[in-house]
Amino acid sequence: DAKTTQPNSMESNEEEPVHLPCNHSTISGTDYIHWYRQLPSQGPEYVIHGLTSNVNNRMASLAIAEDRKSSTLILHRATLRDAAVYYCILRDSNSGNTPLVFGKGTRLSVIA
Amino acid sequence: DTEVTQTPKHLVMGMTNKKSLKCEQHMGHRAMYWYKQKAKKPPELMFVYSYEKLSINESVPSRFSPECPNSSLLNLHLHALQPEDSALYLCASSQRSGAYNEQFFGPGTRLTVL
């Protein structure tokens, strides 16, 4: 599986935007970029995914670099509930079976 | 119903016990997964079922035995576990097992082996 690199931790003030970076310099053309997050004492939850174009949904935006070697998850207004570990994961669309392979992720703290 | 349920929430067992973890979803998903998560570590994949057939076993010891009796249910049978097997066991499901499918996770079963 292609690898991703994320900062260990980040901090944000409440109601401010948060940009969570992910480097994936060995990404292949068929790899989807997925983001999941895990709130304290809960199972992971899906946030967003994309292939080449930027994506928006009700939770976040995903900005993908033109060369696809990095991406950024954007939370537009952080709330205390967004404090979690955020995982950036690559999944190969060429394979019919592509489970999630979690890296260490970024622990996001949100300060009131 | 977009929920994956897991029972029990907590389980304490001795090394000679036999127990089972259960996972259920009613979203019509045909792929189901077991993950293991140690404290302060990311989840690690154990097994993948696709259309009720085991498709991935990540070299998990035989003391963990998965079972998928139908498309809604996934069990994990535990026998002769070791204290180092204490962890949070997470179940997940997705429509299919391909790369563009979102996985839905349950809250997990916290297992303690004495």
Q: Quick check: helix, strand or coil at residue A108?
A: strand
Residues of B in contact with A97 (CB under 8 A): 48, 50, 55-56, 97-98
Reported as a single tens digit per residue, the pLDDT across A39-63 is 998 999 999 999 999 999 999 999 9
Reported as a single tens digit per residue, the pLDDT across A17-41 is 999 999 999 999 999 999 999 999 8
Asked if the C-beta of A102 comes within 8 angstroms of chain B's C-beta atoms, the answer is yes
pLDDT at B100: 83
Q: Which residue has the tokens 């900005």?
A: A63
Asked if the C-beta of A40 comes within 8 angstroms of chain B's C-beta atoms, the answer is no
Residues of B in contact with A30 (CB under 8 A): 99
Interface probe with A: pick from B50, B97, B109, most Cβ of A within 10 Å = B97
Say which of A43, A92, A103 has its CB closest to residue B106.
A43
Is the omega angle on the peptide bond into residue B8 within 30 degrees of 0, that is, cis? yes
- Per the CB < 8 A criterion, the answer to whether B68 and B89 are in contact is no
